[in-house]
A and B are shown apart, each in its own frame.
Chain A
Amino acid sequence: MKPDSVAHKVLSPVFLLVGVALMVVSLIMDFTGSSFSGRGAMLVLGLIMALTGLYLLPTLKYHRAIVYVIFLFPLLFAFAITVLIPLVLGVGYSFTDWTGIRFTTWVGLRNYVTMFNDPSFIWSILLTLLFVILNMILVNVIGFALALLCTVKMKLVNFFRAAFFLPNLIGGIVLGYIWQFVFNNVFIDLTKTSLLSQTKTANMAIILVYIWQYAGYIMLIYVTGLTQMPKDVLEAAQIDGANAVKTLFHIKIPMIASTFTICTFLTLTSAFKQFDVNMALTNGNGSVPGFMGSYLSNGTQMLALNIYNTAIAKNNYAQGQAKAVFFFIILAAVSLIQVRLSNKKEVEL
């Protein structure tokens, strides 16, 4: 590698300049609404040329750093396009009266104020919190119980593991519609009216379907934890005369404490983001006669669905965006706490 060769000295600036120029021109064309059809190709070509120019830059000192950047570029580019830019735009839109097509004025914090004055949104927040707590407990208890059953030495144990895990492989929307059919047409003989037609029972139905979908997945993680437990500890317990219950509470559970942390947070975040089953099963409908002095009709609507319906069905994109920002803050906080706690745990082990 001779960075001061003539080829490098000439080619590098040429490539850089032409590349940047091509990108700038194509971007300008795009923003001014030009109909020239080659502008996409121009942008890509310009980008490749600029990167080539950067690679050929006659420097020894920064060469390594440049190579790193070029290697990271695809990832950073994709991350920026799909996450960073939409996030910034989204926060921006939440301060406007955006309709999904355009916005005319900045409205300041109005969207945020309306949002917290809306009883149905408060209901969605509370319902989501309740749902998260209930599910965190129920899914883990049931998942762990299933894991205990599925680590017993018996025939067909792998079949049972697969069978419990299977619901997790079905997409939430499909699952929701299947269960809607079950509740409305099969269970109706037992329940007289469909479970989905009353708010309380509909919420129970959602929890039931969610557990059915998710417990198998959590079970699989517990199974891994249980099977990786050192056998000598169990043997020692057995020799000391510990019965099954004592082994469970004093040996097994403490030994897989870290698995509990992982599973708790997995269920926590996924329950927070519950959307597809909620949408397919009830679409958030259900009556709540008196909540904060008003009659609500979104008795089973969780946060994610509330945001979606605000934007799409109520045709109020800016308001939906404000709610989404609030949702992002909650989820970011939960995730940060999760990372903190699980890091701590790792150190302890």
Chain B
Amino acid sequence: MKRKLTAIVMSGVLAAAMLAGCSSSGSNTETTAAGSNDTTAAAGDTTAAGDTTAAGSQSDSSGGSSGTTLRLVNGKIEVDTQLKALAAEYEKETGVTVQIESMGGGIDIQSTLKGYYQADNMPDIFVCGSDGDFSNWDGLIADLSDEKWTSDTDAGYKTADGRIVGFPYTTEAIGLTYNKSILEKAGIDPATITGPEQLQAAFETLDSKKDELGLTAVIGYSAESTNLYWSTGNHLFGVYLDAGLDRDDTTYIDELNDGGKLDQARFTDYANMVALFNQYSDPDLLVSGTYDQQILNFASGKYAFVTQGSWIGATMTTDDKDQYAAAGNFEVGMLPYAFEDGIDTIQTNSPSWWVVYNNANTDAAKAFLQWCSEDAGQKILVEDAGFISPFKSSQYMADDPFAQTISDYTTAGKTSAWHWLQIKDGIAQNATGVVYQDFASGNLTTEQFVSTMQQVCEQYYAN
């Protein structure tokens, strides 16, 4: 009997040890990160359990000693290495470890974070994009209004009651991107395109010279709705909401958020521009293209215009480097989406923000963000990660094809905001993206596009 008992106790100890063993190996994945969310979520809790029972095989990378280790969930997987370099630099200066956990490429960050929250495994700093995200976490994230960096930028995320809760880490711009050298060869001065007639004229000129300019199509516009819904339903729709307006002008977003109303006159003008894009776009790209194709063809000089914003600079200079070089590393610029006369702004904004979770590490996290906004942090974020700094005091200029044009518009005060971040969650993916595709594939006329969009928005807001 005694022996039986010892056997049971022994096996119990073994089981506990195994549990601890599994979890400590799990914690190693935490820094490598992107896809392995579930394992890391589980790891957090059990690692802690491992601390006491297992013979301490914990490496310094695991959590535990609070105050010195911060965890940051990054939504831009393309700058994972650069952010790790940033973290290493910060550790060298202050001794505080920052773990970078990068997610992206189709992972739904917000739902992963919700999983972390349920598993009591929240990161100290994470990324939030839309108004919906911020209101979900309201009360759980720290008020950053008293931070020093808030006086250095206007791009922090403000809640409706005026608290700043989001740290801006980059600036992105939405405009009608063009290939400068092609426009020059075609004899078109971008500065003269200030309204729909000039835009149409420019498109026609380019179309007639397609062969001599080596163009496949005038514009690379894709309304594919399965993977590129965000390009049409968010960004291009955001052009209707904001183009030409002052940064704090919320006329059209307010109207939309009031039950999904569209301004008929403005939206009709806008629809005419979309119709123009449909007409002159690459037919291979229009309803079944991919983002990669779109950017590759633009970087190779096959399109004069592309309906993507400044973020494509990173793709052009890395993934599509060879083709971009072969096309002569041409200069790029941005035009306002001038669907009405007098629209002369591009739209710049922080595309998402870092927020600080309320926990024991809140102060350390705030200190890290402050450091990021200062010289040493900005150097890495701007020069290495290619972010365009939202901070006035930052002296660095990103080595990005779009840095110059964004800076020009900003200095001239010709920028509008991104109020599409305030539209109802999921509308692009579930509703409006398809309308653009339907329009592009010729199922809708311009008038039908306007009325359908109106109906779809009202319906989506009603539910």
Contact B52 A285 (CB under 8 A): no
Partner of A315, one of B8, B426, B435: B426
Cβ A314 vs Cβ B433 within 8 A:
no
Which stretch in A40-48, A220-228, A325-333 binds the other chain?
A40-48
Known: A194-B287, A283-B429, A295-B455. A118 touches B437 (CB 8 A): no
Cα separation A114 to B460 with both chains bound (whole Å):
12
Contacts A101-B140, A114-B463 hold; do A297 and B431 have CB atoms under 8 A apart?
A: yes
Within 8 A of A (CB), among B1-40: 1-2, 5, 8-9, 12, 15-16, 19-20
Is the beta-carbon distance between A197 and B117 smaller than 8 angstroms? no
Cβ A297 vs Cβ B430 within 8 A: yes
Q: For residue A180, which residues in chain B have a CB less than 8 angstroms away from its CB?
A: 226
Give the shortest distance, in Å, between B73 (CB) and chain A (any CB).
15
Q: Count contacts on A: residues with CB < 8 A to the other chain.
A: 54
Which A residues are in CB contact (< 8 Å) with B2?
A: 7
Report the Cα distance A5→B431, complex, angstroms: 73
Q: Which of A35, A285, A289, A316 contacts B433 (CB 8 A)?
A: A285
Which of under 10, 10 to 19, 20 to 34, or 35 or more describes the interface residues of B? 35 or more
Q: A5-B1, A315-B425 are in contact. Are A45 and B434 (CB under 8 A)?
A: no
* Chain B residue nearest to A281 in the complex (CB): B226
Give the residues in chain B near A40, CB-CB below 8 Å. Answer: 19, 45-46, 48-49
Inter-chain CB contacts under 8 Å: number: 137
Q: Give A48-66 interface residues, CB cut-off 8 Å to B.
A: 48-49, 52, 55-56
| Distance in Å: Cβ of B43 to nearest Cβ of chain A | 12
Report yes or no: A101 in contact with B117, Cβ–Cβ below 8 A.
Answer: yes
CB interface residues, B 34-68, toward A, < 8 Å = 45-46, 48-49, 51-53, 64, 66
**A41–B433 alpha-carbon span in the complex (Å):** 50
Instruction: Give the distance to chain A from B23, nearest Cβ to Cβ, in Å.
Output: 9
Q: B288 near A101 (CB under 8 angstroms)?
A: no
CB closest chain-A residue, reference B455 = A295
Which single member of B137, B226, B455 contacts A285 (CB below 8 Å)?
Answer: B226
Supplied contacts A41-B20, A297-B456, 15 more A-B pairs, CB within 8 Å: A37-B49, A37-B52, A41-B16, A45-B12, A55-B8, A180-B226, A193-B288, A194-B288, A282-B226, A287-B437, A289-B443, A295-B452, A297-B433, A298-B430, A314-B424
- Chain A interface residues toward B at CB < 8 A: 5, 7, 11, 33, 35, 37-41, 44-45, 48-49, 52, 55-56, 99-101, 114, 117-119, 180, 183-185, 188, 193-194, 196-198, 281-287, 289, 294-295, 297-299, 309, 311-316
What is the interface of chain B, defined by CB distance below 8 A to chain A? 1-2, 5, 8-9, 12, 15-16, 19-20, 45-46, 48-49, 51-53, 64, 66, 108, 110-111, 114, 117, 120, 132, 136-137, 140, 224-227, 229, 284, 287-290, 360, 424-426, 429-435, 437-438, 441, 443, 452, 455-456, 459, 463
